[in-house]
Amino acid sequence: MGSSYKGFNDSDASWGKGRVIDQQCGHTWLATFAEAGRFYSAAHQLPALIIPTWNDYEEGTEIETGIDNCVDVKASINDAELSWSISGSEDTIEHYVILAQQESQWANVADVPTGSHSIKLQDLHLKAETRALCVEALGKASLLNHFSPAVGYSGTKSPAR
């Protein structure tokens, strides 16, 4: 049997002893899964994987709300391109999702692999009613997703004013 965990901190528990395993912005979670992957594969599968104390809020081990990967996304439109930057570690991101606001709804208009930080507006095939764009950093399994603020778009090559 194997286990994966996001971290541990019993300093807020009445019975705590100050034990801490830092979450490292999601890297502890990814590293504990990777450790199991060193010994098991699709051909030689791990019979069971447990998430110890997965919902103990006083220990900092709950995962129901997602695991923070400490990522922040900023987007902008320059010339004929949507570009974005992130702070935090990109290795906690599965891929980027480009969202377009069309009237009152947001629609997924592109999926972009990590390592890429821009896309040409023409490649998005935006509808005339598009009013804003947003970049979502889609976190790896159980890690939080983070969104850039909306960037105004007027159907031209420059940001809406």
3-state secondary structure 109-127: EEEEECCCCEEEHHHHCCC
Q: State the Cα–Cα distance between residues 108 and 114, nearest whole angstrom.
A: 17
pLDDT of res. 156: 55
32 HSE (CA, 13 A, CB side): 20
In terms of pLDDT, which residue wins out, 25 or 19? 25
In angstroms, the CA 125 to CA 128 distance is 10
- Arithmetic mean of pLDDT, 16-31: 91
Cα distances (angstroms) measured from residue 104 to each of 74, 131, 157: 22, 9, 22
pTM for the whole thing?
A: 0.86
Instruction: Tell me which of 15-29, 42-56, 118-132, 134-148 is least confident.
Output: 42-56
